[in-house]
């Protein structure tokens, strides 16, 4: 019995496991999987809500999480950490400045 259990553990450990997470307010059974995505968010009513940070919280961040993304209240923009994973501290860059919430037409 122990040998069978061990073989099952080894078998499952060496298998390549792939999965996709879909977050949706629609019927997920009708959602199209996208082989290029690990996470798919879709909605006809809502958007993605990122963390919103004050300037003091941004300045406190000392750990480098490459690619970390949030909305800066102080700079009114989406910020991303562009520091290489080997760098000690994060480097923040605004990637989308939002001077007004809804564009005038």
The pLDDT value given to residue 7:
65
From the list 102, 86, 51, the residue with the least C-alpha distance to 72 is 51
The pLDDT value given to residue 30:
57
Token output for 90 = 């994060």
Mean pLDDT by 10 residues, the chain (105 residues): 69 60 68 73 84 91 89 91 92 80 56
Rounded distance, CA 37 to CA 60, Å? 32
pTM over 0.75: no
Rounded distance, CA 78 to CA 73, Å? 9
From the list 81, 11, 88, 31, the residue with the least C-alpha distance to 53 is 81
The pLDDT value given to residue 105:
57
DSSP for 34-51, please give it: -TT-SEEEE-SS------
Q: Which helix (H) or strand (E) holds 4?
A: helix 2-14
Length of the chain as a residue count: 105
The pLDDT value given to residue 36:
74
The pLDDT value given to residue 63:
87
């Amino acid at each position: 019995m122990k040998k069978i259990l061990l073989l099952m553990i080894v078998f499952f450990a060496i298998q390549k496991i792939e999965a996709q997470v879909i977050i949706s307010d629609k019927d997920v059974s009708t959602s199209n999987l996208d082989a290029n995505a690990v996470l798919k968010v879709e909605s006809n009513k809502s958007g993605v809500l990122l963390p919103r940070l004050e300037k003091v919280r941004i300045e406190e961040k000392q750990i480098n999480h490459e690619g970390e993304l949030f909305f800066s209240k102080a700079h009114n923009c989406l910020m991303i950490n562009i520091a290489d994973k080997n760098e000690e501290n994060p480097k923040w860059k605004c990637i989308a400045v939002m001077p007004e919430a809804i564009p005038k037409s």
